[in-house]
Amino acid sequence: MKVKIIIPKAGQANVDGGIRLHELDEIVDADDDWQKVEMERFISNGWAEEVKIDAPEETKRARNEDGHYIADDPDTPEVNEAWEGGEAPAKKKAEPKKKAAAKKAPAKKKAAPKRSPKK
């Protein structure tokens, strides 16, 4: 059970009965029995509220009996048959492309040393 503290209050910190301050907007994960009892007391006194966290549902592509993807029917704009549940997932924004680093000018070649003519 997850509980959000609405009003800061002192409460039990551990099994042995230590005390600590539960701060405003703190989310307490009450897994043990003693934590559940403590958080139920906070909720009943109006110092906290239970938080329900729903995992986001993953949308899946619709498939036919052979396992192939089903295409969307353009004649039904209110339903997208290509996705289970009839709705396509929201499109993700693409990250901006990084600019390529400016190319350095090639290094100049040194002139070859002059050779003296043979005698």
Which residues, listed in sequence order, are joined to residue 20 by a DSSP beta bridge? 11
Residue 107 lies in a domain: no
Task: Flag whether 25 is in a domain.
Answer: yes
Assess if residue 69 is contained within a domain: no
Q: pTM higher than 0.75 for the full model? A: no
Residue 91 lies in a domain: no
- Does a structural domain hold residue 74? no
Q: Is residue 67 in a domain?
A: no
Total structural domains in the chain? 1
Q: In angstroms, rounded to a whole number, what is the distance separating the alpha carbons of residues 64 and 52?
A: 35
pLDDT digits over 35-80, tens only?
999 999 999 999 999 988 766 677 888 999 999 999 998 898 888 8
Residue 79 lies in a domain: no
Domain that holds residue 45: 2-51
